[in-house]
A and B are shown apart, each in its own frame.
Chain A
Amino acid sequence: MYKWFFAWRYLHTRLIALFGIISVTLCVAMVLIVLSVMGGFLDTLRERARGLLADLVLDAGLLQGWPYYEEFDAYLQGQASDIVGTTSPVIHNYGILRVPSSNYTKPVQVAGIKLDSYPKVNDFRRSLHYEKYYPGSTTLAPQRQPFAGFHDDKLVLPEALQEANARWRADEKDSKAIKEFDALPYALAPSPGPRVYEAHPDGPVYDGDEWPGIIVGNDVINRRESDGSTLRFFPRGSLMVLTLVPITPAGNPLGEQPVKLFTRQADDSRTGVYEIDSRCVYVDFDMLQHALAMDAQPHADGGFTAPRTTQLLIALKPGTDLHAAQARIRGVWEQFLLSLGERPTADEMQALRWVDIQTWEDMQRPFIAAVEKEKVLVTFLFAIISVVTIVLIGCIFYMIVKNKTRDIGILKAIGASNRGVATLFLVYAGAVGVVGSILGIAIGAVFVWYINDIQALLIHLNPKLRVWDPSVYSFDTIPHIVKIVDAVGIAVVAVAASIVGALIPARLAGKVWPVEALRYE
C-alpha cells in the first residue's frame, strides 16, 4: 500500500517530479511531432503517388510514345480479364500555355487523358474544382464559355450549371461547405474569387466559339492564399492556347511549325502534389494524339502508321496482388509482341522494346527518389532523437531515485521489502511517465493538428518565417495527421523508459542494508 501512497505523495510535493513530467512531456511531444510530420510526409507521398497513376503502368519512357496500345488492351482483356479492371491510355508531352486575354504564358506538361476512363483508374476526379460544385459539368469535349447573367432580376448561371449545383447541394453532407458556397457562390470576372464566371448582358448563356476543354493544374494559373484557399483570376471557360511540338515515331520534331491548340478552361485540378499542380494541364486524349501526330498517319508507301500513346494505365480488380499481376502482365506483353509478327516497323519495334510494365511504386521512383534519400536521413536522425529521449528520461529518473536513496533506507529500516521499495519507485516513475506522456501526446497532437495554422501565423508575423515551402516539399500543406499507433507507441516507450530508468537505482538501493542507504548523502 505504501507504494501507492508514496508515489502519490512524491508526485505531489516534489519539484523534481514536475521536472520529470515536463521533460517526459517535451520529449514525447517532440518525438510525436517529428514522427507525425515526417511519417505523414512519406505516407502522403505514397498515397498521392498512387492516386495519380494507376496500379500498373505500361510506359516506354519515350516522348514519341509507343504503338499498338489498343491491340494490346484488347489482347490483355482476353488473356487476363480475371485481374485487369479498367485501362486508360495517357499521352504525356510538353508545351506552352498561353491565356490570350492577359498574355499570361507558362511552360506546361500536357497530359492527354480519356475523361471517361482515366478517373476510373485513379483519384483524378477528386482533384477537380468546378466538377465538385457543378457535378457533370466538366468535360474535355468542345464547349462554349458559360456566362452568368440576370434572369428575373437575379444573377444566375445557365440552367445546366444551376441544376448541377442543385444536385451537389442535395448530395453534399458537409453543411459548412454549402454555407461557404452560399456566402460567395461565384465572383464575376475580372474580380478574383473561389469560382469565377464572366457575365453576359443577354442573361445566362453559353456563348463564344466551341473549343475543346482543358483542365489546368491549380498552381499553373491560380494563386493559393496562405489560408489555403485558392484565388481564381480567369473566368471558367476562358480561352487558353497550347503550343506543342509533334514528334515522329522515330522521335524527331515533325514539320517546321509547332501546332497551336485552342481550348477552353473547363476546370482546374489540385492533386496536392505541387510538382504536378504547378505544371500539368489535361486535354482530351484523342485531340492531343491528333495534334501531336501520334494518331494514324498516312505512310509514304500507302497505309497508315499505328496510333501511339506514352502510357497505358491499368487498374487491377480489387484484391489482386500487385507484383503477381505485374509479372503476369509482363508475360502477356511478351506474347503480345510475338503475336504482332512483322507488323511493326523498325522504329516502332524500337519503341515497343522500351515498354515496361511498372507498378505505381516503380513509376514514382524518380519522383520519390529525392525524398527516399531524405527518408534515410530522417530515419537516422529520428533514431538518434529516440535514443537520446529514452536515455534522457532514464537519466532523469535515475537522478530522482538517487536523490531518494535516504528515503529508501528509512523505508527499509521500518520493514519495507526490497521488492516493495522497487515497486514504489516503479509506480512513481510510471505515474510521472504516464502523466508526462499524456500531456506530451496532447501537446504534440495539437501542435501537429494546427501546424499549418501555426505556420500561417508565423508567415503573417514575418514572411521569412515560412518553414514549409510547397515548391520544395511537394505538398501544399504540412502533414497534420497524428496516427494513434504512433501516439500509443511513443507513450509506451516513454513510460517504459521512465520505469527502467527508475528501477535500476531503486533496485540497487533496495539491495543494500538499510544502514548503507541511510548513510547516503
Chain B
Amino acid sequence: MSKPAALLQAWSVHKTYLLGRVEVPVLRGASLGVQRGEFVVIQGASGSGKSTLLHILGALDLPEKGTVTFDGRNLFAGSPAARERYRNRDVGFVFQFYHLLPELNVLENVLVPRLTGQSFWSWQVARGGVRRETEAMLERIGLADRAKHRPAELSGGERQRVAIARALINRPTVLLADEPTGNLDAVIGGEILDLLVELNRAGQTIVMVTHDAGVAARAHRRVVLKGGVIQEG
C-alpha cells in the first residue's frame, strides 16, 4: 500500500506503552508514505496513537519495531547526530501545546532553530541575515508587531502561529503538525488552517494530525489511524 518512492515513509511501526504493569500497544504496524508536496491529514479517535506516530515520524521518539525512512535514509539506524540534523533541517514540528520557550520573545523563539548548529563566530556573521529572514517570517504569519513580546503575552492562536513560524524558519522539507488547531476556537483555528493550506500551495509538504473532519476536508489526502494501523480514508 505504501510506495517506496515516498519522501517520508513509516514502515510498519510498532509502539507499546506500559501502563502500570499492563502493556498497551498503541501502534501495531502503522505504515504511511508521504509524497513531496503532499498535504496529508491523520485522523483518528482520541488516544488512538496519532501523536505517537507523528513523534516517531519526527524522530522525537523511538519505535520498538519498524522504522521511518526519509529520502531513503533510515532515521533510527543512523547516528544521533544524523537525527539531530533531521529534526533541525528536514522537518519542522508544531505541537498541540505550542511548546514555546517562555524566556524568549517571539522573534527569538522563531530563530532558535537557526541558532542551533551555529558556532559563536559563525552566528556573529549570520545574525543580520537571520534576523531579517525571521522578521519576514513574522510578517508572513501576521505577527510582525509582536516580535518583542513574550509567549505569555500572546493568545493561543498567536502562540500557534509563532510555533509554526519556528517550525518553518529552517525551510524544512516536511512540516509535522499535531492538532495545531485543537486548542483554538473555530475562527482562529480556521485562520491557522488557511495559513497551512497557503503554505502547502507554495510547495510545503505537510503532515497534520486532527480529528476535525472539516479541517481534514481541505487536505489532499486523509488517512485514519485505527487499531494501531493506518487505514487510507
Interface residues, chain A, CB within 8 Å of chain B? 1-2, 4-6, 9-10, 12-14, 406-407, 409-418, 420, 513-516, 518
- Nearest-neighbour CB distance to chain A for B133, whole angstroms, equals 16
Q: What is the total number of residues of chain B having a CB less than 8 Å from a CB of chain A?
A: 32
- Residue contact B115 to A1, C-beta cutoff 8 Å: yes
Partner of B115, one of A5, A418, A515: A5
Given the known inter-chain contacts A413-B93, A415-B89, please indicate yes or no for A2 contacting B99, CB distance below 8 A. no
Given the known inter-chain contacts A415-B85, A415-B87, please indicate yes or no for A515 contacting B116, CB distance below 8 A. no
- Residue contact B84 to A416, C-beta cutoff 8 Å: yes
Given the known inter-chain contacts A1-B123, A2-B112, A414-B113, please indicate yes or no for A10 contacting B60, CB distance below 8 A. no
Task: Tell me the complex Cα distance, A2–B88, Å.
Answer: 13
Enumerate 19 A-B pairs (CB-CB under 8 Å) in ascending A order: A1-B116, A5-B115, A6-B103, A10-B103, A409-B99, A410-B99, A413-B58, A413-B93, A414-B112, A414-B113, A415-B84, A415-B86, A415-B113, A415-B116, A416-B116, A417-B80, A417-B84, A418-B80, A516-B61
- Residue contact A414 to B87, C-beta cutoff 8 Å: yes
Partner of A1, one of B60, B89, B108, B118: B118
The 10 A-B pairs at the shortest CB distance, nearest first, are namely A415-B88, A2-B115, A1-B123, A1-B118, A415-B87, A515-B61, A514-B60, A414-B113, A13-B103, A416-B116
Instruction: Output the nearest chain A residue to B98 by Cβ-Cβ distance.
Output: A410
The yes or no answer to B155 lying at the interface (CB within 8 A) is no
- Residue contact B99 to A518, C-beta cutoff 8 Å: yes
B62 CB contacts on chain A under 8 angstroms = 513
- Nearest-neighbour CB distance to chain B for A15, whole angstroms, equals 11
- Summarize A's interface: helix, strand, loop or mixed: helix
- Residue contact A9 to B80, C-beta cutoff 8 Å: no
Given the known inter-chain contacts A417-B80, A417-B84, A513-B62, please indicate yes or no for A411 contacting B116, CB distance below 8 A. yes
- Nearest-neighbour CB distance to chain B for A164, whole angstroms, equals 67
Instruction: Output the nearest chain A residue to B92 by Cβ-Cβ distance.
Output: A414
The yes or no answer to B104 lying at the interface (CB within 8 A) is yes
Given the known inter-chain contacts A413-B60, A415-B88, please indicate yes or no for A9 contacting B103, CB distance below 8 A. yes
Instruction: Output the nearest chain A residue to B119 by Cβ-Cβ distance.
Output: A1
- Nearest-neighbour CB distance to chain B for A137, whole angstroms, equals 68
- Nearest-neighbour CB distance to chain A for B199, whole angstroms, equals 18
Beta-carbon contacts under 8 Å, B98-135 to A: 99-101, 103-104, 108, 112-113, 115-120, 122-123
Instruction: Output the nearest chain B residue to A13 by Cβ-Cβ distance.
Output: B103
- Residue contact B60 to A515, C-beta cutoff 8 Å: yes
Partner of B116, one of A2, A13, A407, A516: A2
B100 CB contacts on chain A under 8 angstroms = 410
Task: Tell me the complex Cα distance, A513–B122, Å.
Answer: 28
A413, A414, A416, A518 — most chain B CB neighbours (10 Å):
A414
The yes or no answer to B146 lying at the interface (CB within 8 A) is no
B95 CB contacts on chain A under 8 angstroms = 413, 518
B28 CB contacts on chain A under 8 angstroms = none
B115 CB contacts on chain A under 8 angstroms = 1-2, 5
The yes or no answer to B211 lying at the interface (CB within 8 A) is no
Task: Tell me the complex Cα distance, A248–B86, Å.
Answer: 100
The yes or no answer to B166 lying at the interface (CB within 8 A) is yes
- Residue contact B104 to A9, C-beta cutoff 8 Å: yes
Instruction: Output the nearest chain A residue to B117 by Cβ-Cβ distance.
Output: A415
Instruction: Output the nearest chain A residue to B100 by Cβ-Cβ distance.
Output: A410
A410, A413, A416, A514 — most chain B CB neighbours (10 Å):
A413
B58 CB contacts on chain A under 8 angstroms = 413
- Nearest-neighbour CB distance to chain B for A413, whole angstroms, equals 5
